[in-house]
Amino acid sequence: MLDAGTPSLALQRNIIAALLIAVAAAAWAMLIRLQIGMDMPMAMNTPTMGMNALLFLVVWIIMMVAMMFPTAAPMILTFHQVQAGRRGPGATFVSTWVFVGGYMLVWGPSGVLAFAGAAGAENIAGREGMSTATAARIGGALLMVAGAYQLSPLKDLCLAKCRTPMSFILTSWRDGHWGAVRMGLEHGLLCLGCCWLLFLTLFPLGIMNIAVMAVVTLLVFAEKTFPMGERLARLAGAALLLYGAAVLVLPRLLPTFPAAEAMAGM
């Protein structure tokens, strides 16, 4: 039975979906505004985008909200549905957002690791006097590693879990708010397992390249939700392998290469 004034399950699902879309859209708008206001050669040439650790982490979280909220929506809505069946719609709305909070806990530490890797790469490149072509070829090698990961058993395992929200929810169920946090965290780790090397391709392709971010988001969404998602993951892996190999031969094929040359000529 619903308490007076408690929204129905269908209405709650619609509210949650609308809020996820609205928050993701706001994050995309913020990223576009940041891109417009940035010195793009600098932003595309340096892995840290010339930011300190705190600012980089803030931008990283905004990126993850923009890119991952749409792809996580089916899992979040399935959690809400199962929770409502167990506890009733009146006790479900808050638990669902606790689940989302647990999910987002994964992306903060991943941003710290991303900044540490980016700053380390900048430091090594500066110390060794790395040429633009060499840096581009390293980017090409990273694209090939990402492509190989798309074809790996670990990718398949994580993707299989993400593609079956009801199976994940039922087999990983934990009661209470702390249980929701734990489940959100576990799902976040599976998402990270699916996508972390796709995110790393943003560094050679342009960390603030909105078009590349949109393509990665659509790819992740398609992998998780479309019937042929697993095949799409493999096709993307083959494409990354071929593109990375081409960049090794012709570094100018990397979109960040012209920006890097412009910076070198200043």
Least confidently predicted of 43-52, 89-98, 186-195, 251-260: 43-52
Phi–psi pair at 6, nearest 5 degrees? -80, 125
Dump pLDDT digits (tens) for 210-238.
899 999 999 999 999 999 999 999 999 99
Task: Give 225's contacts (C-beta < 8 A, 6+ positions apart).
Answer: 71, 74, 163
Q: What is the largest CA-CA distance in the chain?
A: 70
CA distances from 173 to 71, 86, 164, 185 (A): 20, 11, 14, 12
Least confidently predicted of 30-39, 70-79, 171-180, 192-201: 30-39
Confirm if 217 and 66 have CB atoms less than 8 A apart. yes
Mean of all residue pLDDT scores within the chain? 85
DSSP 19-79: HHHHHHHHHHHHHHHHHHHS-HHHHHHSTTTT--HHHHHHHHHHHHHHHHHHHHHHHHHHH
What is residue 155's predicted lDDT score, i.e. its pLDDT? 95
What is residue 65's predicted lDDT score, i.e. its pLDDT? 94
Please say if the pLDDT value at position 93 is more than 80: no
Please say if the pLDDT value at position 43 is more than 60: no
Query: Who wins on pLDDT, 238 or 7?
Result: 238
pTM (two decimals)? 0.85
162-169 contacts at long range (C-beta below 8 A, 24 or more positions apart): 162/75, 162/187, 162/190, 162/191, 162/194, 162/223, 162/224, 163/223, 163/224, 163/225, 163/229, 163/230, 165/74, 165/75, 165/77, 165/78, 165/79, 166/78, 166/82, 168/75, 169/75, 169/78, 169/79, 169/82
